[in-house]
Structure 1
Amino acid sequence: MLLDRADQAISSTELQKNTRVLLDRIATGEQDRYVVIRDNRPTAVLLPTDRYESLMAELEDLRIEAVARERLATLDSTKTISHADMQARIGARG
């Protein structure tokens, strides 16, 4: 959901006129996000940098998990080798 509260919606005009104030509110945590409305439609979301980075990290983790699940689902156990055998193949010392 883009908006939890009415104070999260700002017009593109308000963003242009009050950029510094709005960004300061985001930076200090006074505001958790802004949804920029242009032509009566959501156009962009402003988030604190740490929240954005957290969301991107979580998304990457979910992508990796999806790939792992897919690989496990199609695993051919006749072609697998043990960890010890893999170490022996690459010359790793345990």
Structure 2
Amino acid sequence: MVRSFSAKLKEVTSGEQSHLVIFKDNEPAAVLVGVDAFQAMRDELEDLRAELLAIQRLSSLDEQNTVSLEDMEARFK
């Protein structure tokens, strides 16, 4: 890897290769991905966490204390 890092980095950053798994002592040690792919993964993870939180909150929703979207918008006009 040391001798060919520049070439491998170019493969990943150009999109020729989506990722590169780096091994140490025959075990996966790290993954090299381009910045765009990394940001896309972070964005997707954030979206999934927000969706999970919404699902969890829906299960304990108290219909008696909820405010409609229209009422909420009227409060802030």
Question: What number of residue pairs does the alignment pair up?
Answer: 77
Q: Identify which of structures 1 and 2 has the higher relative contact order when contacts are C-alpha pairs closer than 8 Å and 6+ apart.
A: 1
| Closer/same/farther in 2, CA of residues 83 and 29 from structure 1, 3 Å limit | closer
> Distance in 2 between the 1:57 and 1:45 partners?
18
Q: Deviations over 1:29-87 (max 9, x none)?
A: 22221100101110000111111111110010000000000111110111112233334
Match of residue 41, structure 2, among 31, 44, 55: 55
Match of residue 82, structure 1, among 44, 54, 68: 68
Question: Matched residue of 2:57: which SS?
Answer: helix
Question: Matched residue of 2:41: which SS?
Answer: helix
User: Does structure 1 residue 18 correspond to structure 2 residue 4?
Assistant: yes
- Paired amino acid for 1:35: V
Aligned alpha-carbon RMSD (Å): 1.4
Question: Matched residue of 1:81: which SS?
Answer: coil
Q: Give 5+ residue unaligned stretches, structure 1.
A: 1-13
> Distance in 1 between the 2:73 and 2:14 partners?
50
| Closer/same/farther in 2, CA of residues 71 and 21 from structure 1, 3 Å limit | same
TM-score (norm: length of structure 2): 0.87
TM-score (norm: length of structure 1): 0.73
Question: Matched residue of 2:70: which SS?
Answer: helix
Q: Give 5+ residue unaligned stretches, structure 2.
A: none
